[in-house]
């Protein structure tokens, strides 16, 4: 469908309506939050950002989110490849599974982890604690952000014609070399897009982490759980300040998402 200039009153009304709704729905709250963060002035805000527990919470969040991205990239790429290129019974079932984290409440996921790895859990770990520690948080982040890379890469892989890869094989390139030099450049943009989404989701994860991490300050607190605790402690400046910072991250991620999305659209034949 081609773009047209909006001329009729109906068109203008629609545009205003749609934009107005969006403004009310989230632009206004966004502005309200920024306002709230600066409500008591710049100094308390800066103090928040220099608070060691805040810094630590961010470190935990970023580190574990990054780890989740790495895990989901390697395993997600493999999974996308297998789902597209392999044929086996149950393939469709596994394909459906990939969508589950979209609708699986993180709270319930956290609860499942407690059932599995908690003190009296089914797989109570002998060596190191999982639930109230880093591994648990990492698992939660991997879980909630699992589908993105797979779902972004799958359609691009499917659309690839077989000839270039077959050509590479006859030329003498191994399967790995062919993947690296022929396939990867084709899926690169979609992969990057998926990585950005994964990262955003992992950073923002809250429900599972809250249930399992026990919120021990200074050890397993993430940025989001800090906000939650700050709200409960009536530390509004802290809560709003960290929220604004998280939003900042999100906006950067958003810009990256859109730059990549534009490239994906333009590449489509």
Partner 1 sequence: MTQIPLSYPTGQGAVAVKRAQAPSFGAWGLRFIALTYLGAFILVPLIVIQVQGVRFGLDVFWQSITRPEATSAILLSLYTSAIMAALNTVIGTLTAYVLVRYRFPGKRLFNMLIDLPFAIPTLVIGVMLVLLYGPQTPIGRFFDTTLDIQILFAVPGIVLALLLVGYPFVIRAVQPVLLQMDFSQTEAAQTIGASAWTTFWRVIFPALRPAIVTGALLSFARSLGEFGSIIVVAGNIPMRSQMGTVYVYTQVEAGNLQAASSVSMVLLLIAFGVTVGIDLLKWRRHA
Partner 2 sequence: MSIQLENIHKSYGTQRVVRNVSLHIETGELFVLLGASGSGKSTLLRLIAGLMMPDSGRILLNDRDVTHLSPQQRGTGFVFQNYSLFRHMTVAQNIEFGLSIRRVNRDERERRTAELLDLIGLAGYGERLPAQLSGGQQQRVALARALAYEPNVLLLDEPFGALDVKIRAQLRQSLYEIQRRLGVTTILVTHDQEEAFDIADRIGVIDQGQLLEVGTPASLYQHPKTMFTATFLGTTNLLNAQRNGTSVHIGDAHLPVPPDTDHLSGKSVQLLCRPEEITLFTAPDAANGYVIGRGHVESINFAGSMLRAVIRLQDATQSTVQASLLPADARTLALTVGQEVWVSIGSYHLLSAVEA
Site for partner 1 in 114-153 (CB under 8 A): 114-116, 122, 139, 142-143, 146-148, 150-152
Smallest separation, CB 15 to partner 1 (Å): 5
| 20's tokens | 């107005």
Query: 157 to 196, contacts with partner 2 by CB under 8 A?
Result: 161, 163-164, 166-174, 177, 181-182, 185-186
Q: Give the closest residue to 37 by CA, choosing from 250, 246, 260, 220.
A: 246
User: Do 9 and 226 touch, CB atoms closer than 8 A?
Assistant: no
Query: 203 to 262, contacts with partner 1 by CB under 8 A?
Result: 203-207, 210-211, 223-224, 227-228, 231, 239-240, 243, 246-247, 250-251, 253-255, 257-258, 261
Q: Which of 56, 118 has the CB closer to partner 1?
A: 118
- The C-alpha atoms of residue 253 and residue 197 are separated, in whole angstroms, by 8
Q: Give the closest residue to 153 by CA, choosing from 95, 192, 182.
A: 192
Smallest separation, CB 186 to partner 2 (Å): 7
**Quick one: which of 69, 130, 131, 200 contacts partner 1 (CB under 8 A)?**
200
Q: Which of 154, 220 has the CB closer to partner 1?
A: 154
Q: Give the closest residue to 83 by CA, choosing from 144, 140, 152.
A: 152
Q: Which of 99, 166 has the CB closer to partner 2?
A: 166
268, HSE (Cβ side, Cα atoms, 13 Å): 8
* Cα-trace Rg, the chain: 22
């Amino acid at each position: 469908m081609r773009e047209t200039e909006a001329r009729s009153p109906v068109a203008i009304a629609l545009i205003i309506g749609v934009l107005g709704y969006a403004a009310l729905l989230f632009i206004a709250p966004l502005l309200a939050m920024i306002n709230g963060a600066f409500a008591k002035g710049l100094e308390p805000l800066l103090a928040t950002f220099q608070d060691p527990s805040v810094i630590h919470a961010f470190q935990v969040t970023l580190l574990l989110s990054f780890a989740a991205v790495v895990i989901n990239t390697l395993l997600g790429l493999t999974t996308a490849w297998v789902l597209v290129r392999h044929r086996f019974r149950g393939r469709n079932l596994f394909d459906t599974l990939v969508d589950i984290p979209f609708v699986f409440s993180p709270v319930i996921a956290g609860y499942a982890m407690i059932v599995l790895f908690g003190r009296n859990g089914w797989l109570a770990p002998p060596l190191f604690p999982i639930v109230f520690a880093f591994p648990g948080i990492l698992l939660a982040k991997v879980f909630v952000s699992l589908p993105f890379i797979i779902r972004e890469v799958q359609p691009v892989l499917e659309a690839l014609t077989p000839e270039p890869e077959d050509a590479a094989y006859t030329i003498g390139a191994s399967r790995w070399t062919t993947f690296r030099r022929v396939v990867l450049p084709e899926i690169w943009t979609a992969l990057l897009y998926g990585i950005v989404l994964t990262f955003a989701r992992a950073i923002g994860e809250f429900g599972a982490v809250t249930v399992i991490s026990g919120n021990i300050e200074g050890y397993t607190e993430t940025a989001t759980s800090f906000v939650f605790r700050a709200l409960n402690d009536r530390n509004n400046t802290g809560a709003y300040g960290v929220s604004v910072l998280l939003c900042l991250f999100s906006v950067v991620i958003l810009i990256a998402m859109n730059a990549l999305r534009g490239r994906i659209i333009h590449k489509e034949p």
